[in-house]
């Protein structure tokens, strides 16, 4: 695809267009709003979700420059409770919920199997000493709930899936200011004062300063029946509706991992750029997967997880082979065109070693890529040098 002529950025293959007369998946409480707005609906993990509302590229820029809203009600909200729930989560998760001591504080973490593969990545919120909230991925819902319930039996934990709740993500440099107009006046100042990775209850809304775009903003959980009215109010305030397409290009620019692409249940956090989510201390905390993680950490042979910038003409895509001369081969885990940078970028898992250039196999040709630090873009700013050229 010629990036100069492209208005719609093609999605990687984990999203499939639902070109059919009858939609077979589940629908969120905002489905009718998407249809009214002329959204192109796709099947995503068994859910009928908006891909875009006309221009994926314009939606992407709206979030980087102003404010956009995403329907993320397909995500699974799970409330855990019980006298030993904190002890349980310290065993279940690679990060340590002992860090959470104040209401609404959030923590990003991976949930691992015994071999240190990632069952899922998720957010966990502290509600009280006996109650926590998890936000897990839609595509992994069934296995996540089964795993949590199975592991939680010994701790007497109650697992409550909150199917009654919807969730929207309002993201962008002006997102919080515009969204604040849509919540009750008595909660506005407190909501605007939220620190990153903190949440609060505001009437029927649970508002958290989190997101998946590399921009500031809120993720808001609320009763499903109230979601259409909030959606209308956000659009009336000037927030742009955005679909899964823009969400994917935004999170790629921000180098935020996508489950099923960048990691899965046979890939450890150490080879997915997520070592920062592992709480190694205290030494005596024996969380699931710890022994396997330590063995890989100490082996010195773990693969690198890096950012790539394409220096030749073309587009990087998931699963393309990466060749590192003298070191071996790797693979792109997430790739695509960056609307903000104007070049193709990717995340890739590559052989261990010290090097800063590689080549990607694209349509039987070898294209030059440079290994760059991530994120590529954060808070609207390009964070990498896009002008440096590959040494011939």
**Segments making up each domain of the chain, as ranges:** 16-71+164-253, 303-392
Other beta carbons within 10 angstroms of residue 76's beta carbon come to 23
Write down the number of H helices and E strands in the chain.
9, 23
Mean pLDDT over the full length of the chain:
93
For residues 214 and 221, what is the distance between their CA atoms, to the nearest angstrom? 20
Distances in whole angstroms, Cα of residue 44 to Cα of each of 41, 73, 138, 252, 296: 9, 12, 9, 18, 33
R_g of the chain, CA atoms, integer Å: 21
Segment 57-77, tens digit of pLDDT = 999 999 999 999 999 999 999
Torsion 223-39-245-176 (CA) sign:
negative
Q: What's the average model confidence in pLDDT over 363-387? A: 95
Segment 120-177, tens digit of pLDDT = 999 999 999 999 999 999 999 999 999 999 999 999 999 999 999 999 999 999 999 9
Q: What are 145's two structure tokens?
A: 């709930």
Distances in whole angstroms, Cα of residue 251 to Cα of each of 55, 121, 246, 271, 290: 17, 14, 8, 19, 28
For residues 209 and 105, what is the distance between their CA atoms, to the nearest angstrom? 10
pLDDT at 173: 98
Whose CA is closest to 28, among 246, 226, 224, 242?
224
Answer yes or no: same fold for 16-71+164-253 and 303-392: no
Angle CA 70–74–77, to nearest 5 = 110
Q: Please say whether the structural domain 16-71+164-253 has been given the CATH code 2.60.200.20.
A: no
Percent of the chain as helix, strand, coil, to the nearest 5: 25, 35, 40
Q: What are 279's two structure tokens?
A: 């709480």
pTM: 0.92
Q: Are strands 68-71 and 16-17 parallel, antiparallel or unpaired?
A: unpaired
Whose CA is closest to 48, among 23, 11, 71?
23
List, in order, residues 6 or more apart from 124 with CB less than 8 Å away. 89, 93, 95, 97, 100, 106, 107, 109, 132, 133, 134, 135
The third-level CATH classification (topology) of the domain covering 303-392 is Elongation Factor Tu (Ef-tu); domain 3 (2.40.30)
Segment 216-250, tens digit of pLDDT = 999 999 999 999 999 999 999 999 999 999 999 99
Task: Indicate whether 387 pLDDT > 80.
Answer: no
For residues 331 and 262, what is the distance between their CA atoms, to the nearest angstrom? 10
What is the per-residue DSSP string for 280-319? --STT---TTHHHHHHHHHHS-PPEEEEEEE-SSS---TT
Task: Write down how long the chain is.
Answer: 392
Q: What's the average model confidence in pLDDT over 35-44? A: 96
């Amino acid at each position: 695809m010629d990036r100069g002529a492209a208005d719609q950025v093609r999605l990687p293959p984990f999203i499939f267009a639902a070109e059919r007369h009858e939609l077979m998946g589940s629908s969120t409480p905002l489905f009718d709003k998407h249809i009214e707005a002329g959204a192109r609906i796709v099947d995503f993990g068994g859910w009928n979700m908006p891909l875009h509302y006309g221009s994926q590229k314009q939606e992407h820029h709206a979030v980087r420059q102003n404010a956009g809203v995403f329907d993320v009600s397909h995500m699974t909200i799970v409330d855990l409770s019980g006298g030993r729930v904190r002890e349980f989560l310290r065993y279940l998760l690679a990060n340590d919920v002992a860090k959470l001591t104040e209401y609404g504080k959030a923590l990003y973490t991976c949930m691992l199997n015994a071999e240190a593969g990632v069952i899922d990545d998720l957010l966990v919120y502290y509600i009280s000493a006996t109650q926590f909230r998890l936000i897990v991925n839609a595509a992994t819902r069934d296995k996540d709930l089964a795993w949590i319930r199975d592991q939680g039996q010994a701790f007497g934990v109650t697992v409550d899936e909150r199917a009654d709740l919807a969730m929207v993500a309002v993201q962008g440099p002006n997102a919080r200011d515009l969204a604040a107009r849509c919540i009750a006046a008595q909660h506005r100042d407190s909501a605007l004062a939220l620190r990153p990775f903190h949440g609060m209850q505001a009437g029927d809304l649970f508002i958290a300063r989190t997101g998946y775009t590399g921009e500031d903003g809120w993720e808001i959980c609320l009763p499903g029946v109230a979601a259409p009215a909030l959606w209308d109010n956000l659009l009336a305030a000037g927030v742009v509706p955005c679909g899964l397409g823009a969400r994917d290009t935004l999170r790629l620019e921000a180098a935020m991992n996508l489950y099923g692409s960048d990691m899965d249940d046979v890939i450890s956090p150490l080879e997915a750029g997520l070592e920062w989510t592992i709480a190694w201390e205290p030494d005596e905390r024996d969380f699931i997967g710890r022994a396997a993680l330590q063995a890989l950490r100490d082996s010195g042979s773990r693969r690198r997880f890096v950012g790539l910038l394409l220096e030749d003409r073309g587009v990087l895509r998931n699963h393309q082979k990466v060749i590192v001369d003298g070191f071996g081969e790797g693979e792109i885990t997430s790739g695509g065109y960056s609307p903000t940078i104007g070049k193709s970028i990717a995340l890739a898992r590559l052989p261990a070693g010290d090097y800063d250039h590689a080549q990607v196999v694209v349509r039987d040709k070898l294209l030059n890529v440079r290994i760059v630090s991530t994120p590529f873009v954060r808070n609207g700013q390009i964070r990498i040098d896009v002008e440096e050229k590959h040494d011939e």
